[in-house]
Amino acid sequence: MNLGGFANRIGRIDLSSGSISYEEIPEEWALKYIGARGLGVRYMLEGDPKCDPLGPDNILCFMNGPLTGTRANMSGRMAIVTKSPLTGTVTDSHHGGWSAARLRWAGFDGLIFEGASDTPVYAYVENNTVELRDASAVWGKGVHDTVKYFQELYGEKDLTVIAIGQAGENLVKFAAWVNEDDRASGRGGTGAVGGSKKLKAIVVKASRAYPEPKRPEDFKVAHNQALATIMDEKNITAPRKGGLSLYGTNMLMNVTASIGALPTRNSQLTSFEGAENISGEHIRETILVSEPTCHACPVACKKEVEVTYRGQTIRTESYEYETAWAFGAHSGNDHRDSIAYMIYQCNNYGMDTIEMGNCLATYMEICEKGWNGNVPLKWGDHEHMVELIEKTAMRDGIGDVLAEGVARIAAHFGHPEVAMAVRGQSIPAYDPRGLKGMGLGYATSNRGACHLRGYSPASELGVIGLKTDPLAWKGKGELLKLLQDIHAFSDSLDLCKFSAFAEGPEEYAAQYAAVLGIDFTAADVLIAGERIYNLERYYNQLAGEKPGSDTLPKRFTEEPSTMPGSEGHVCELDLMLEEYYAQRGWENGVVPESKLKELGILE
């Protein structure tokens, strides 16, 4: 392959036999599916889409993009791609930090794990090679102790550790891989797939070695233009100028509460009276201690905090919006320090904070309505929330039920209607009665309920220039398709989602073309993104997904909001789906063969 950007080296590791081989990336795949998210899904199609996600036939991919490890802004993301044990769909979950750049500096575009080991192992990566080594010394340990162990073994300099905690080992359906203590590939249960394979960690040792673009002068121009959009002092929504740098993602807590779009008490309400106590503004004023950043990022959205809770002083990253909401408003809890402690717990056990918070909120509603025979969990009971997080990670008692995710919890107690989930994955922190585009985004997300497939709040809240009315349904089908396609491309580069608050297809195309040394336009960005989105949907169809799977919980479509800002509104999903399918060329959510051929997915 004669393209810039790529190391053109994939490590393929058979955990069953212990064999390791190296291969180049087919150039046709690289050009069609870009990298990271898109290329990972293409590799997934080499396996059986109908496989058991926790069986040896599932494939687990750690994938970089062609801009990873370069000087491109916000190019420190890695995609973990696999079949999700939570949803049964293909999933990709990204994390920041330095692991992606170091994997590229170590000479790899990706690592693909197949089979399953009989004993705990970790992969050690350095100087274009991968070795499997014994992980029995860290099996049973949390992420923080695992990271510390490898730092003592290999030295902290130039080292990255991506690990699972006890939740992954115990096959919690929403277990996560955690990078450098606190940066999680949270969603979809990728950590449980690692646990099923007895793969404890990926340890990468590599010093900084920026890949040179094929067209250096073009890249310099493209890079400076992209950076200018991020740093634009005249644009209050530019990531570096706006609240993202000051307050992190939790700048949204007060905003969504004020417009009736903050799901509260398992989405029975759309605003939370205690929002201010857990908001980004309050966190910055009271418990913020550091603002670490990722490779090549000028924004520094991460907010590290220090609290003392239950007699223990902890520092943890990051008091983000989704997490503060999940353990806060959604669970009726405005106790600031307890939320920080729960973040610390989940980072150490290796669990998705969004799903864990939803599990607690679902169980709280079940208790509130008297549908369980266990000790009731009341709204805002943070002491018992902390205990249940530990029980979930260890699958102890009721924790064994919670470890299955919200859809299975609700079904277990005979009330599936209280699961605020799509395709088995719980919703993030946006109520689709107050932000209607997000309802369509949840329903049509290929990996289950997700705000990041097509971040419509950027438009509905006026963060980007394409402003739309949050309470209007019309036009959201066209908007979501556009955003989903753009994000599918940027996730494949792999650039941070927040780059899209400033950059667009033109900036992405210019940087990509300069690095690879090819001609590529903004229109090509949208075509590539559409191809990747359709590829994921095609995988899900092969895995057994049926027509009509693009749904929402009836709470959002039939129970009007009672809170100011969205009062009286429901989410008109059916009308938006009709518009969306017309834009996509799909038939009741199914990609027809003609569309697959048009996009070059099928010959």
181-232 pLDDT, tens digit each: 888 999 999 999 999 999 999 999 999 999 999 999 999 999 999 988 887 7
Residues 482-495 have pLDDT tens digits of: 999 999 999 999 99
CATH code, domain with 85: 3.60.9.10
Long-range CB contacts for residues 309-314, cutoff 8 Å, separation at least 24? 309/337, 309/338, 309/340, 309/341, 310/341, 310/383, 310/386, 312/341, 314/340, 314/341, 314/344
Domain end: 405, 426, 447, which one?
Answer: 426
Q: Tell whether 561 is covered by a domain.
A: no
Q: Tell whether 159 is covered by a domain.
A: yes
Domain span holding position 275? 247-426
Shared domain check, 201 and 155:
yes
Distance of alpha carbon 439 from alpha carbon 459, whole angstroms: 14
Question: Based on the structure, what is the number of domains in the chain?
Answer: 3
Give the end of a domain, one of 373, 391, 426.
Answer: 426
- Establish if 235 belongs to a structural domain: no
Q: Which of 5, 27, 37 is nearest to 531 (CA)?
A: 37
The residue ranges of DSSP E strands in 45-128, in sequence order, are: 60-63, 78-83, 90-95, 110-114, 121-126
Q: Looking at the structure, do residues 188 and 48 belong to the same domain, yes or no? A: yes
pLDDT for 242 equals 61
Q: Are residues 370 and 444 in the same domain?
A: no
Domain presence at residue 566: no
- Whether residue 457 is found in the same domain as residue 364: no
Does 27 share its domain with 148? yes
239 is a domain residue: no
pLDDT for res 244? 81
CA angle 396/397/403 to nearest 5° reads 65
- Single-letter residue type at 599: L
- Mean pLDDT, range 527-549, rounded to an integer: 98
- Residue 241 resides in a domain: no
- pLDDT 10s digits, 15-25: 999 999 999 99
Which residue in 22, 163, 23, 164 sits closest to 99, CA to CA?
163
**CA 245 to CA 213: how far, in whole Å?**
29
HEC assignment per residue over 169-191: HCCCCCECEEECCCEEECCCCHH
| pLDDT computed for residue 233 by the predictor | 57
Residues 123 and 158 in one domain: yes
CATH code for the domain of 399: 1.10.569.10
Confidence check: pLDDT of 241 > 70: no
Tell whether 421 and 458 lie within a shared domain.
no
Q: Give the domain CATH number at 541.
A: 1.10.599.10
Share of the chain above pLDDT 90, in %: 89
Task: Give the start-end residues of each E strand in 101-176.
Answer: 110-114, 121-126, 129-134, 159-163
Residue 216, in any domain of the structure? no
Give the pLDDT confidence score for residue 505 in this predicted structure: 96
Provide mean pLDDT across the span 402-419.
98
Residues 397 and 445 in one domain: no
Same domain, 80 and 141: yes
My answer on whether 190 and 303 are in the same domain is no
- Whether residues 272 and 379 share a domain: the answer is yes
Residues 160 and 271 both lie in one domain: no
C-alpha separations of 415 from 114, 159, 362, 448 in Å: 37, 47, 10, 20
Boundary of a domain, candidates 357, 391, 426 = 426
Quick count: other Cβ atoms within 10 Å of Cβ 217? 9
The answer to whether position 157 is within a domain reads yes
